[in-house]
Amino acid sequence: MLGKHLLLSSVILEIFFLVIVFCTTGAGHGTYVPAAIIFPYWVIVMLLSQNDLAITISVVLMLFLYPIYAILLLKSRKGRSFGLVKFGLVSIHFIASAIANYLYHYYPHGL
């Protein structure tokens, strides 16, 4: 029961975040800071890659990022690794967000 609720909540959260990012980026004329915080892996790939396949994969990852997080949390829930997985996901996301924001502000070929 908790699994279905967590997964459904992550999908709803994903849609909400996509709307926020779409509105703040302004079809390329706004700011990408919220995108770098909410979807850091997508921003990193968009800034560093000129490869269409990598960009496509990053967009797919962006569309399923929070449901993937929910699935990882659900898979680790039964063991002792739940706290470690939670800490790892938050840490990796925070570090990726910091890198994405740094690249967005200082990388010469920005978005």
The whole-chain average pLDDT of the chain stands at 86
**What's the pLDDT at 83?**
86
- Count the residues in the chain: 111
**What's the pLDDT at 97?**
96
Domain boundaries, the chain: 2-106
Q: Is the pLDDT of residue 40 over 90?
A: yes
Contacts of 20 (CB under 8 A, 6+ apart): 34, 38
- Record the pTM: 0.83
**What's the pLDDT at 80?**
78
Distance (Å, whole) CA 62 – CA 64 = 5
